[in-house]
């Protein structure tokens, strides 16, 4: 239809150009007449040509068989529940991380590691000044030796020489008493005879009593020496020795705690003090992050978290690196911000040596290789792929089987077999448009419901060139 009109306008444009550039104005009227005649001829000729083409098309259609479109179809089935793949993201975390500090106040004299260094279990990280502790330990050790010596003396008891001296003292007092007794008896007879005064008699009696008291005291001292040291005194001295030993042990503990040790294999994340700094008990000096074992902390909806299993492995991914995860724990509280429950997975590598039938499951004892440490660091985002089961009935169809209907609705084309046709390659189907409701969209497929039943044939290709009631045939590619 455009070719005659294009030729006409090109001729008109050329004529006008010649008209404007012509030197002789006498040709103007001649050219105007030619253009007017050409315009009238095109107006008369074009409708006649269009009618002729239409008549030729009708005659050709009436003489040949109708051409039917070939379409691809699928046979649909209704489902009562669906399992949708869901992806949730979280962060990588070290299985253990600690803020390390000393238990006592002191001055740092040595620091052995820097930030970023890898450390082993019980490796010394830093030391405090221990001069005062060593002096206190030496003093207590000397006191302990003195207490032990005194305890041994108590356990051994008095010497034989001491006991012999006590016996001699008793014998001496016995002799003195005997002499005092004789003197007292003599003075008593003389007093009865009125030969001495009462004063002399009283002196003799007092002397006898004094000697008796000294004799009794000497006998008691001798008995004490012969019995040995009291058990209570020995136990008291043993307690004193134990007290000194406990004080020495406390000094030993303080000396050991003057060395800051790594609690597990890891990497130094922060170093907060240098040599010469005074630190308080519990003040953080290093931050160490466990090296090797990683965990994925991911928030998932409560209904999905309730169906996770500790015996199953789950697919994890960091960027394009595939991993697997073993469920370690489900936190008991709901996050008030995201309204999800945090789930902890132990991050494990995928064992590529296993066959595809075994789903590349890594044994429980396997760990992440050291080659992963450069890419898997705490703080990176990690994703987990889970399945969510919904109690929703409908029919899964490809996304390309949907066509836009009226008033923003969706529709599908159903191929209905014509009555009397037999099942063959040339079986003719009649298209019927049916409105549907989209329930769930899952990448390249959708779950729909509407006037569709199990076994219906849905057209999946060429929907833009199909109309309701059109006769089609099914392609062999179905």
Give the C-alpha separation, 30 to 42, whole Å.
Answer: 19
Look up the CATH number of domain 100-125+261-289: 2.40.50.100
**Residue 478 CB neighbour total at 10 angstroms:** 12
Q: Counting every residue, how long is the chain?
A: 478
428: CB partners within 8 A, 6+ apart: 68, 418, 421, 471, 472, 473
Q: Looking at residue 20, what is its pLDDT?
A: 53
Alpha-carbon span 185 to 196, nearest angstrom: 13
- Contact between 188 and 202 (Cβ < 8 Å): no
**What confidence tens digit (pLDDT) does each residue in 94-131 have?**
989 999 999 999 999 999 999 989 999 999 999 999 99
User: Beta partners for 437?
Assistant: 449
Assigned token pair, 326:
């073993």
Gap between the Cα atoms of 382 and 321, Å rounded: 10
The pTM is what?
Answer: 0.55
Q: What is the pLDDT of residue 231?
A: 84
Query: Candidates 3.40.190.10, 3.40.50.2300, 2.40.420.20, 3.40.50.1220; correct CATH number of 69-80+392-474?
Result: 2.40.420.20
Token pair belonging to 20 = 């404007």
Specify burial of residue 401 (Cβ count, 10 A radius: 0-12, 13-18, 19+): buried
Contact 86, 304 (CB under 8 A): yes
Domain ranges (residues) in the chain = 2-62, 69-80+392-474, 85-95+290-390, 100-125+261-289, 135-252
∠ CA 326-363-331 to the nearest 5 degrees? 15
* Beta-sheet pairing, 82-94 with 381-390: antiparallel
Residue-level pLDDT at 57: 43
Q: State the residue for tokens 């008095």.
A: 158
CATH class of 85-95+290-390: mainly beta
For 19-40, what is each residue's pLDDT tens digit? 555 444 555 556 566 666 666 7
The closest of 217, 214, 216, 191 to 202, measured between CA atoms, is: 191
User: Are the C-beta atoms of residues 312 and 117 closer than 8 Å to each other?
Assistant: no
Mark out the alpha helices in 64-159 (DSSP H runs).
Answer: 131-156
Q: What are phi and psi of 117, to 5 degrees?
A: -75, 150
Residue numbers of the chain with a pLDDT score lower than 50: 1-2, 22-24, 50, 52-65, 353-361, 364, 425
Q: Which two tokens stand for residue 200?
A: 């002399």
Question: How much is the pLDDT for 91?
Answer: 93
Q: What pLDDT is attached to residue 35?
A: 67
**Both tokens assigned to 53:** 């083409």
What pLDDT was estimated at residue 359?
Answer: 43
């Amino acid at each position: 239809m455009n070719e005659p009109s294009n030729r006409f306008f090109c001729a008109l444009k050329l004529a006008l150009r010649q008209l404007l550039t012509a030197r002789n104005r006498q040709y103007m009227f001649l050219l105007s007449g030619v253009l007017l005649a050409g315009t009238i001829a095109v107006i008369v000729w074009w409708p006649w040509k269009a009618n002729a083409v239409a008549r030729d098309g009708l005659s050709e259609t009436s003489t040949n068989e109708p051409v039917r479109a070939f379409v691809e179809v699928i046979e649909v089935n209704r489902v009562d529940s669906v399992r949708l793949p869901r992806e949730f993201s979280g962060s990588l975390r070290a299985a253990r991380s600690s803020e390390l500090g000393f238990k006592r106040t002191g001055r740092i004299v040595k620091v052995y590691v820097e930030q970023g260094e890898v450390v082993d279990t019980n490796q010394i990280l830093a030391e405090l000044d221990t001069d005062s502790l060593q002096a206190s330990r030496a003093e207590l050790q000397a006191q302990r030796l003195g207490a032990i010596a005194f305890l041994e003396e108590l356990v051994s008891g008095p010497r034989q020489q001491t006991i012999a001296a006590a016996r001699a003292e008793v014998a001496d007092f016995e002799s003195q008493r005997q002499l005092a007794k004789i003197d007292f008896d003599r003075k008593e007879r003389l007093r009865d005879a009125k030969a001495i005064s009462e004063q002399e008699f009283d002196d003799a009696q007092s002397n006898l009593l004094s000697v008796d008291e000294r004799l009794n005291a000497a006998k008691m001292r001798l008995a004490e020496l012969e019995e040995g040291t009291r058990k209570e005194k020995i136990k008291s001295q043993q307690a004193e020795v134990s007290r000194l030993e406990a004080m020495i042990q406390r000094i030993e503990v303080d000396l050991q705690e003057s060395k800051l040790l790594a609690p597990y294999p890891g990497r130094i994340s922060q170093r907060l003090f240098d040599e010469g700094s005074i630190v308080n008990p519990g003040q953080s000096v290093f931050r160490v992050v466990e090296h090797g074992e990683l965990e994925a902390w991911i928030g998932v909806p409560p209904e999905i978290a309730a169906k996770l299993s500790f015996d199953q492995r789950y697919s994890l991914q960091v960027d394009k690196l595939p991993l697997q995860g073993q469920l370690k724990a489900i936190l008991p509280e709901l996050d008030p911000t995201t309204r999800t429950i945090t789930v902890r997975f132990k991050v494990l590598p995928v064992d590529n040596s296993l066959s595809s039938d075994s789903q590349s499951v890594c044994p429980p004892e396997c760990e992440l290789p050291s080659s992963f440490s450069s890419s898997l660091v705490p703080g990176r985002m990690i994703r987990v792929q889970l399945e969510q089961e919904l109690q929703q009935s409908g029919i899964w169809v490809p996304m390309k089987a949907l066509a836009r209907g009226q008033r923003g609705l969706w529709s599908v084309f159903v191929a209905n077999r014509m009555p009397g046709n037999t099942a063959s390659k040339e079986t003719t189907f009649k298209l019927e448009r049916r409105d549907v409701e989209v329930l769930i969209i899952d990448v390249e497929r959708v779950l729909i419901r509407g006037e569709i039943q199990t076994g219906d044939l849905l057209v999946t290709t060429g929907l833009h060139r199909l109309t309701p009631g059109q006769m089609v045939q099914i392609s062999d590619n179905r």
